[in-house]
A and B are shown apart, each in its own frame.
Chain A
Amino acid sequence: MQDDRRTFLKTLGLGSLVSLGGFAFLQRLGGPSQALASGAHLAKADPNVKRWGMVIDMSLCKEGCNDCVTVCHSRHNVPDHGNKKDEIKWIWKAPYQNVFTEKNHSYTQEGLLEKPFLTLCNHCDNPPCVRVCPTQATFKRGDGIVQMDFHRCIGCRFCMAGCPYGSRSFNWRDPRENIQEIDPHFPTRERGVVEKCNFCAERIDRGQMPHCVETCKEGVLTFGNLNDPNSEVRQVLKEKKTIQRKPALGTQPSVFYVI
């Protein structure tokens, strides 16, 4: 073969034409035109399909009030082992600087860094915990709730490593030892499974609001269908400036905050 400049350029041109055409062809076949993490899912929202979400308005949350935490934990039989290592939490308060790790700088508004912020599982649109679970014990329901199937959990804790929000707790000990009063209407967990907030799936399935939302007297928590533009939660999102936790990770949290 003659290796002159002319043949080389011709071959190069032909090669790039074929490869570009190939990409276009693959895209036609239904390849991902947009990465899931960029919110492609929400854009196609159908108002008749439920997609649960929550807004937490921290400007209304009273310091020292823990009603939502107490009710959630007592109704879901969350134990209190009394030490940090064994701690189980579904909904809890943590300082702003820990909740919004990427949003604090040395000159942040006075008192904000230490202000306790309410935090819980974000029920992400693109949940890393679901992707890493080897047994599909954690899965995403059609309505967006990231749910645990404790029957399947093998306690490998991949999900805990995957969750960037620390929303998951592992039962190092038998939880029944340290439940003040077992609520007979909800099961406990056993030693060796991971647990987290379930957005009160058991109540939502019966058309009720989550415990925390129902309990809060200050109206801090707004819960509703993110797909429905007329829902209460969408109204709040429309009117107020809201932020998500660690949006750059592309997990697309369903929990929004008003600072």
Chain B
Amino acid sequence: MYNAKIVIPVLLVFLGLLTYPLWSPKGSHQHETHRTLAQPKGEQCVESARWMRANHMQLLENWRHSVVRDQQRTYVATDGKHYDKSLTNTCLGCHGPAEHFCDECHGYTSVKPYCWTCHLDEPPAAGSENPHSPAMELSKAMEAQDAR
């Protein structure tokens, strides 16, 4: 072999650089593959956590279609419990705000769902008026209008 004294060390250095991400503790980013998600407030999710991790996108797609187009607003879970099909109220009621739960993984995997351009990324504050009860006080709404 010609110029073995030069070629072999350079080759070794090159191989070292090439495999750097594999052996370097800094390059492997082991610690970043586990996201720390906010602990949900409720005791149990509509389905098991394992199932939700894999299928929450299909579930939500299904919910949005059935609510808007088929007027089916109640979800019957596998365990027979009934839930209101609502992203902001039901999901974020336990997992909200989205910033500490949804965005954590979506940001890491560079998934960009555009839920929050319309849906609110925080559940209504506890004790805030029930959506199904009569309208918020008219006086309040009138004040808002006068202020405009």
Contact = CB atoms under 8 A, between A and B. Distances in A.
Interface of A: 66-67, 70-71, 74-75, 80, 82, 139, 141-142, 147, 149-151, 180-190, 201, 203, 205-206, 208, 211, 214-215
Interface string B122-148: 111100110110111010011011011
A240 B114 CA distance: 48
A211 B145 CA distance: 17
Interface residues of B, number: 30
Contacts of B117: 190
Given A70-B145, A141-B71, A205-B73, A75 B135 contact: yes
Nearest to A188: B118
B90 interface: no
B145 A71 contact: no
Contacts of A187: 88, 118-120
A184 B88 contact: yes
A67 B88 CA distance: 28
B132 A214 contact: no
28 contacts: A70-B138, A70-B141, A70-B142, A74-B136, A75-B135, A75-B136, A80-B148, A82-B148, A141-B71, A142-B71, A180-B147, A180-B148, A181-B144, A184-B125, A185-B129, A186-B131, A187-B88, A187-B118, A187-B120, A188-B120, A190-B117, A201-B71, A205-B71, A206-B132, A208-B132, A211-B135, A214-B135, A215-B138
Contacts of A182: 120
Contact of B131 (A139, A147, A185): A185
> What is the predominant secondary structure among interface residues of chain A facing chain B?
loop
Contact of B64 (A147, A151, A211): A151
B123 A184 contact: yes
B124 A185 contact: yes
B138 A71 contact: yes
Contacts of A139: 69
* B120, B123, B124 pick with most chain A CB within 10 angstroms: B120
